[in-house]
Every structure is written in C-alpha cells, then in structure tokens.
Amino acid sequence: MSPSRQKKNKKVQATFTPRTSPIRPLKGGILITIGLLFAVALVDYDPTQEGIIRAFATSTETSSDPNLVGQFGRDSAFLLLSGLGLGSVFLLFSVIWIGVLNLVKRAHLVTGPRLVVLVLATLASAGLANGLQLAWWPNLESIFPENFFPRGTGGLAGYWLNEAFLFETLGQFGSFFLLLLFFLLGLGALFSDPSRNLFERAFQRWSERRADRQPTAAERKKARTQKREERAQKIALKEEKRQAKLDRKKEKDQIRQEKAQKREEREAERRQKREAEAAAREERLATRAKEDPEPESESVAAVDSSLLSGSIPARRRSRSQSRPEPAAPARRATPPTEPEPEPEPEPAPQPKPAKAPEPKEPEPKDSGLKIVAGEKIEKAENLFPARKGNYQFPSLDLLQEPTPPQERHVENHEETAMALKTTLAEFGVKVELGEVHTGPVITRYEVYPAPGVRVEKIANLAKNLGMSLKAQSVRILAPVPGKGCVGVEVPNRNPSAVCIREIIESRSWGDADAEIPVVLGKEVSGKPLVADLTKMPHLLIAGSTGSGKTVCINSVIASLLYHSSPEDLRFIMIDPKIVEMQIYNSLPHMLIPVVTDPKKVPGALKWLISEMERRYQVFARANVRNIAGFNSKIAKNKEEKKRAEEMEAEMSAEERNALLEARSEEEDDGFEMPTEKIPYIVCIVDELADLMMVAPADIETGIARLAQLARAAGIHLILATQRPSVNVITGVIKANLPSRIAFKVASKIDSRTILDEGGADSLIGKGDMLFIPPGAHTLVRAQGAFVSDEEINGVVEYLKVNGPPNFLEQVQAQIDAGDEEGGGGAEGDYEDELVPQALDVLRSSKRASTSMLQRRLRIGYNRAARIMEILEDEGYVGPENGSSPREILRDLD
Ligand SMILES: Nc1ncnc2c1ncn2[C@@H]1O[C@H](COP(=O)(O)OP(=O)(O)OP(=O)(O)O)[C@@H](O)[C@H]1O
C-alpha cells in the first residue's frame, strides 16, 4: 500500500466510529427470521389461496393448497406484491442481509442515510420492474402465474414512480437509467464496508459540523428571550402609533363636527331671515290683493306651483328664464333686499296637472332642489278576470296591501344633498345639485360636475361619500345613461317594501302586452318593473346568501299564478335545497313534483330537450314558427272544426267515407299531433351550484342546448345561484342567458362574473338588485318585489279549489329511468360505468389483460374481471387465454 493511501485510511478510521450495540446479535436474528418468513410466503404465494382479509381476495375460486406461512403469509405476500411488485424481492433480501451482518458482528448497518438509500433503492427496484414490463418486456407478467401481481410487476409504488411520473417526464431511457442508478446505489449501500462507505462518511461529517454549530441550551434560551422581548417592544410601538393615529382622527372628527354644527347654525339663521322676509312679502301682497284681488292670487299660485313642479332642474331654470324665480339658486344668490315694486301682470306658465307629480315629502322652499317623488303607480282599470276556462285565479285579497304613503317615514333629502355637495367640495370636486329621484329603498341624487371635473374622480369617491353620509353603501353612476350628470345612489334611512300586490294592480301589469309577464320589483324612479319572460327568454338570478333570490323567485311564481292557468303554463321546479319549494307541490300548474335529487336533474333536462324537439316537429307539421303561432292556429282550427262538423252532417255517405279515408291516410305516419293548446313550460332551478357539483358537463350542455333553442318552443329557464363563481356561471351558461339579475354579492369579481361589470358589490341586500333587461346594455337598479311566505301559502292554498295537480307520470317515469340507467345519464349504456374507460385502456395499450385493467383503472380484481366479461359479451375481446392476454377482436381505433 502506498504511503498516501495509508495516510488516507488512517484519517478515515479516525473520523468514522461505527456504532455498536450489545443486543446486535438478537436484532440480527429477528431480522433474518422476519425476512425468511416473508420470503417463504412470497415464494409459495398463489392468488387463489385463502387469506384472512376478504378484500384481498383476487379470485372467486379458492385453492385447497394453503400458503406455507398460512393465511397471514398469503395476505402479507399479497400486500408486498400489491405495494412493490418485484421490488419486494429486493426488500426481503436487504432485510435478511442486514440481519446476517448484525449476527456476524460487523458494524451496525442500519444508519440514517443508509436506511434512506435502501428505501430509495427498494422503490427504484419496483419502478424498474414496472419499466421493464412497460417498455422492454411486455410479457414479463406472463412468466408468473396469472394474477400473481395484483397491481402489475412493479406494484403500486412502481406504477406511481415510473408509469405515472418518470416515464412521461424522462422517457423510456431516462427513467430506466435514473432508477437503475438508485438501485445500484442501494446495492452499494448493502454490500460496502460501512467505514469506507461514502454516505456514512458524509453523514458523519455533516453531523459533526452540525453539532459544532449548534448553540448550547442556555444560549438558545437567551436568544429566545431576546427575540420575545424585541417582539413585545415592536408590538408596544405599533400600539402606540395606532393610538396616536386614533387620537388624531378623533380630533379631526371633532373639528369636522364643530364645523358642520356651525354651518348648520348659519344655515338656520339664514333660513329664518329668509322666512321672515317671505312672510313680510306675503303680507304686503295680501294687503295689495285686498285692493286688487284677482291678478295677485294668480301670481301667488304661480309662485307656489313653480316651486313644486318645474320640470327643468332649478339650476337650469335660473339660466333659461329671463326673470329670476323665487326658488332658483340664482335668485338665492342675490336675495331681494327690497320688496318687489309691482306684482307681475302675467302669471308664470302653469305646468300641466297631469305631468306634475305629487311630492310625497315636504320640499323646502329655499333649497332649489327638485325632488322627483317616486312615480305614483296608477291602478289598472280592468283587472284580470276571476276565472279563465276552468281555472279560478287567486284573489288579490290574499296579498298584502302596500303601506299607505302618509305612514312612511320622511327622508331629509335636502340635508343629504347638501352633505353630498360639501363632501365632494372637501375632495376638491365642485358640483351643482340636480334632480333627486326618490325610490322605495334608494334615492338617486343627480349632480352636475363643474367644467373640467372628471366624472371618474367622483366615481372613485364612493367610499368617502358613503362614510360622510353614514350610508350602508353608495353606488355612483357616472354618468347617468342619457343624461349629462352623475347619479349618486344612497340608501334611504327608512326603506319601504315593494309589495307585489301594488304591481299586480298597476297599469304596468295590466297593460303589459306579454305572454308570460313577471313581476320583478320597482325601479329607482318608482316605476314598476314588469318583464316578459318570453322576451328574456331565460333568466339567471345570482347573489350571495340572504340577498333576496328566493323572494324574487317566489314573486315571479306568484305573478305567474295571477296571470296564467295550467292550460297556459306549467312549472318544472328543481330545488336541491329540498325545503324551499316543497310548498308548490300542490299547485295545479306543476308538471311533475318538485325535483329535489340532483342526480335526477340531467334526466329532467333531457326530457325538456326531447319535449322541445317534439314541439319543433309539431310546429313544422302545422307550418307555424313558434308556440304562439301554434296556439292561435289551434284556436282558429277549433272554430273551423265546428263549421266542418256542420258541413259533414250535410254530406252524403260516399263523400263522408272519402273524407274519412283521406284523414286516416294523413294520420297514418304515426305522429300524434296535439289537438289542444300547448302550454308554456317554465323550469325554475333554485341552486345551480349544487347541480354543477353533481354532473357539471351534463348540466352545462343541457342548459346551453335548451337556452339556445327552447324560446320558440315555449320553454323558459330561470336559474338561481348563490355561488357566482366561474365554475357555476360558466362562459357557456352566461353566453346563453343574456338576461340576468344580480343581488348583493361579496366582491367586484363576483359582480363581474354575473353582470360583466362591477356594481352588485355596492348593493345593500334584501331585494336590492341590478337587472340587465333583454337586449339592453345598461343596468337597471331596482328593489325586488316582496312576497312573504304567508302570502305564498295563502295563494297556494286558495288554488287548491282548482283540484290536485295533474302530474305527467310518463315524464316522471322517464326522469326516474334516466337516473337508474346511469346515475343521471352521465355514463354509457353498459352494466358497468367504467366500460368506456376500459375500452380506452385496451385502445392505448393494445393488450386485454385483467391485471392491466386493475392497474390502469385502479379497481379490484373482481370488477376488472367483470368488465372483461362484459367486453367479451360485447364482442370486443376473445375468451380467456391461459396466462396470456385475451385477443382483441375489434378494431378499436
Ligand atoms: N324584495 C325584498 N324586499 C324586502 N326584503 C327582502 C326582499 N328580498 C329579500 N328580503 C329579505 O331578505 C331575507 C332573505 O331573502 P331570501 O331568502 O330571498 O335570500 P336568498 O338570497 O334566497 O338566501 P339563500 O340563498 O340563503 O336562500 C328575507 O327573509 C327578507 O327579509
């Protein structure tokens, strides 16, 4: 040995001290025994042997020859083969070898790094076995008895390591060499001398260095205490800063409050002064009126009426009129110090009484603010009839009367408007106030920005405005569509509910020339929002929980019950929440009972699609374009039929026979043409998200198909969801449902998902909504109509006079059959849903082996064997072929 080599070895001996243990021989003995027991069990393993655990059985037959290590040995071998395949041979060999080394008093072999290398090498051996079969030796499995490997030659570990990961990433050679490298490293770890072993030395050095660097326990404790103290100091500093900030804020608030108070006092003083002046002026006018009564009284009336009902904003009026009026701001800017010398000879033009809306709330005379009170709802003169055919409509008395206006609380709009102006001015935005539109829940203040003010600047101040107005949330419309101003929508302090009754009684409902009118609510202007479902033609309702979706659906259903009989319209309701729609089960309009099982929904959609297709055939034969055309044709035909019957009575026997023959020829093709009106079908889904979780693809395509084509067939969808995420409101669904309602949502992203723009995040909840009407691009803000559970109960109870619902049993049967067929029709027509996937495996691997199916589809032996039998019955594969794979009989490509 060369001197340098000797020196090197000395160094190694000095640095490496193999660990020894007094119980080492005992350990060695135990390891050898365990290893040998498992090895014997593995060698004698036969899949048909009986084990302890039934789930491990891979064959229906049982062998009379038990395993040499008994049922325990059989199950252990099964587990080893399932997990590691051929890799288990290496594992057992390693265990026995380590045992031998311990017994013959060699160094303790099972050290940390060596153990890691051995585990990696065991996994690598499993991966190698898998790779061998996959790429080099496809018939490797066939040299063992059939089903010897429950999960392939590499077991589950080999499959995951090689087939599922390495093979795809590194390819046939790359994966093979990497695994081989680890395997050889493992062999090296087993057979090398620990004192020379590279890993041992590296580990030893690393441990020593770590030990050198590790601080003592006392040092560690000291460092910890120091850190804790530093952290506490930081927190205290932060708290101090926060407190200082709060104090500053409080001070500022106080100053602001004081300023506001002073401003109010000054305002009040000015108001008092003006009132005194006005009183004096009126007195003077009254004195003059005594002398010349007629022209004076007209003038007073003109002044009053112009105060109440000018149609142009006061700011504009002051500019457009040559003479200043008492209420115009221009006039306020130069208040008359002297009484007017002469009364006006001609009174100001009186606005038409029809156009002058009656303000609900007192309007301060000196504000110059034009408050447009919520549009007064005109009642329809001719309400709907009490009955239609056999259908008795529900009585209007079942619905709540709206609260009379005088009982409503008064909002101080002037104060809010002034606060709005002041806050904007504080942020350097000069505006002039315009009209104020008061709605039931929201009031819209219109402001005209001064020249040079960017509307975006106002739009960005929504939160600041909300804070200074102490409003729940403020939405800014910049600009108000069709107007040269910005709208600031502020929630009323005392909102009033919109009752469905006032809308059903209104002219908007009575005059709505709609096939399926639905009540949605009231716009900010107070105008009833009544839409025609046939024009929408489908509706998506989304909003967070508790925002008002269910109430909206209820008011849509209630409004339909006041408009359409079961001959005109039928419902299909889908309610995965189970409890929300149960009440409607007794409605005569129901086509089938409320569907509560999400698995049945694809079946229901399938039925609707087939009904749509049937209707199209009917329309084609009747030569009409849509349901409305068909129904009017049926009405016309009925009259014609009456006339024809009269003519028939006058015909001779021969003529009658010829007519009957012609008719029977016409009817011979077996297609059943309806002879009665076809009802519209409204399908309401209360929670789309629950359905999208069960069968997303089926539901999405079903909805898209219906939404695209069902309009002419008279089938309309109303879909509601509380999860406005892109997995639920998918691009496909959105593209097909242009009419959408968004109630309050948590974030701007949710709002964009529903409406393609923000806004729904600034709503205040409880029925406050944004609606995209059909064909429009601007959003309509509205308050949803409210209908209570008691009202719904009353209406549904009342409708029982029309008899029980006439459920279409064949529809229900078809839906139930669809569900049984394959969990909602998602799978194919085979006995086992995995057959199509099994065919894919055969197609890609070109091998028909049960164990291959087991591995690829991750299923047990019994199921894989059953699928193979189905494939045999279907003629895809040949009969069993000993231990070789079956023959593939059809060209699967
Ligand atoms: N149009 C409305 N007018 C007044 N209050 C309303 C209106 N709509 C809803 N609310 C109030 O909001 C509450 C919740 O409404 P609703 O049950 O319709 O919410 P939702 O969105 O369906 O919630 P969820 O998804 O949890 O069922 C109602 O109980 C009612 O008090």
pLDDT in tens, 461-514: 888 888 888 888 899 988 888 888 899 999 988 888 899 998 988 888 877 778
Once rounded to an integer, what is the mean pLDDT over residues 18-43? Answer: 83
More confident residue, 358 or 644: 644
Task: Report the distance separating Cα 595 and Cα 572, nearest Å.
Answer: 8
Residue 491 phi/psi, 5° resolution?
Answer: -65, 140
Q: Is there an atom of ligand 1 within 6 Å of 497 CB?
A: yes
User: For 727-731, which contacts have Cβ atoms below 8 Å and span 24 or more sequence positions?
Assistant: 727/692, 727/696, 728/688, 728/689, 728/692, 729/540, 729/542, 729/688, 729/753, 729/754, 730/700
> If 0-12 CB within 10 Å is exposed, 13-18 middle and 19+ buried, where does residue 470 land?
exposed
Instruction: Work out the angle between the directed axes of helices 601-622 and 809-822 (0-180°, nearest 10).
Output: 130
Three-state SS annotation for 760-805: HHHCCCCCEEEEECCCCCCCEEEEECECCHHHHHHHHHHHHHHCCC
Distance 724 CA to ligand 1 centre (A): 17
Question: Which range, 254-263, 369-378, 872-881, is most confident?
Answer: 254-263
Task: Report the distance separating Cα 252 and Cα 265, nearest Å.
Answer: 20
Which pLDDT score is estimated for 400? 87
Task: Report the distance separating Cα 784 and Cα 442, nearest Å.
Answer: 12
Q: How confident is the model at residue 548 (pLDDT cuts 50, 70, 90)?
A: very high
Rounded to 10 degrees, the C-alpha dihedral 33/38/44/45 comes to 170
Question: Which range, 294-308, 325-339, 768-782, 828-842, is most confident?
Answer: 768-782
Residue 690 phi/psi, 5° resolution?
Answer: -60, -35
Question: Which strands, in side-by-side order, build the sheet including 539-542?
Answer: 528-532, 517-523, 780-784, 768-772, 739-742, 539-542, 715-721, 680-685, 569-574
Contact 38, 76 (CB under 8 A): yes
Span of 81-95, 209-223, 816-830, 856-870 with lowest mean pLDDT: 816-830
Residue located nearest, by CA, to atom 16 of ligand 1: 548
What percent of the chain is predicted at pLDDT more than 90? Answer: 22
**Tell me, what DSSP letter sits at residue 410?**
P
Class in CATH terms, 510-647+673-802: alpha beta
Indicate the top mutation candidate among 578, 766, 791 to test ligand 1's pocket, ranked by most ligand atoms within 8 A of CB: 766
Q: How confident is the model at residue 698 (pLDDT cuts 50, 70, 90)?
A: confident
> If we measure between CA atoms, which residue out of 788, 757, 793, 762 comes closest to residue 772?
757
Which pLDDT score is estimated for 62? 66
Q: Is there an atom of ligand 1 within 6 Å of 784 CB?
A: yes
Query: Known binder of ligand: residue 824?
Result: no
Indicate the top mutation candidate among 503, 547, 719, 768 to test ligand 1's pocket, ranked by most ligand atoms within 8 A of CB: 547
Distance 809 CA to ligand 1 centre (A): 34
Q: How confident is the model at residue 887 (pLDDT cuts 50, 70, 90)?
A: confident
Distance 550 CA to ligand 1 centre (A): 6
Query: Known binder of ligand: residue 545?
Result: yes
Query: Known binder of ligand: residue 535?
Result: no
7, pLDDT greater than 60: no
Query: Known binder of ligand: residue 549?
Result: yes
Question: Which strands, in side-by-side order, build the sheet including 370-372?
Answer: 370-372, 431-438, 442-449, 486-491, 475-477
CA R_g for the chain:
43
3, pLDDT greater than 80: no
376, pLDDT greater than 80: no
Contact 443, 411 (CB under 8 A): yes
Q: Is there an atom of ligand 1 within 6 Å of 543 CB?
A: yes
Q: How confident is the model at residue 538 (pLDDT cuts 50, 70, 90)?
A: very high
Q: What is the number of the ligand 1 atom nearest to the C-alpha of 495?
A: 4
Neighbours of 638 (CB within 10 A): 12
Query: Known binder of ligand: residue 249?
Result: no
Rounded to 10 degrees, the C-alpha dihedral 447/450/456/459 comes to -30
Which pLDDT score is estimated for 88? 93
Instruction: Spell 262-285 as b/e; 16+ CB within 10 A means b.
Output: eeeeeeeeeeeeeeeeeeeeeeeb
Once rounded to an integer, what is the mean pLDDT over residues 633-652? Answer: 76
> Which residues are bridge partners to 490 per DSSP?
443
> Which residues are bridge partners to 477 per DSSP?
487
Task: Report the distance separating Cα 683 and Cα 306, nearest Å.
Answer: 52
Q: Is there an atom of ligand 1 within 6 Å of 546 CB?
A: yes
Q: What are the structural domain ranges in the chain?
A: 22-193, 222-267, 371-403+411-491, 510-647+673-802, 831-892
Distance 383 CA to ligand 1 centre (A): 29
Q: Is there an atom of ligand 1 within 6 Å of 767 CB?
A: yes
Which pLDDT score is estimated for 201? 67
Distance 546 CA to ligand 1 centre (A): 5
Mean pLDDT rounded to a whole number for the chain: 79
More confident residue, 112 or 127: 127
> If we measure between CA atoms, which residue out of 297, 288, 367, 299 comes closest to residue 327?
367
- pTM of whole model > 0.80? no
> If we measure between CA atoms, which residue out of 731, 733, 737, 735 comes closest to residue 700?
733
Q: How many CA atoms lie within 13 A of 525 on its CB side?
A: 9
831-892 folds as: Arc Repressor Mutant, subunit A (1.10.10)
371-403+411-491 folds as: Threonyl-tRNA Synthetase; Chain A, domain 2 (3.30.980)
Q: Is there an atom of ligand 1 within 6 Å of 551 CB?
A: yes
> Which residues are bridge partners to 486 per DSSP?
447
Task: Report the distance separating Cα 691 and Cα 728, nearest Å.
Answer: 9
Neighbours of 604 (CB within 10 A): 26
Distance 580 CA to ligand 1 centre (A): 12
Distance 497 CA to ligand 1 centre (A): 12
Q: How far is CA 562 from CA 48, 530, 589, 675, 751, in A?
A: 71, 13, 12, 26, 32
Task: Report the distance separating Cα 454 and Cα 429, nearest Å.
Answer: 9
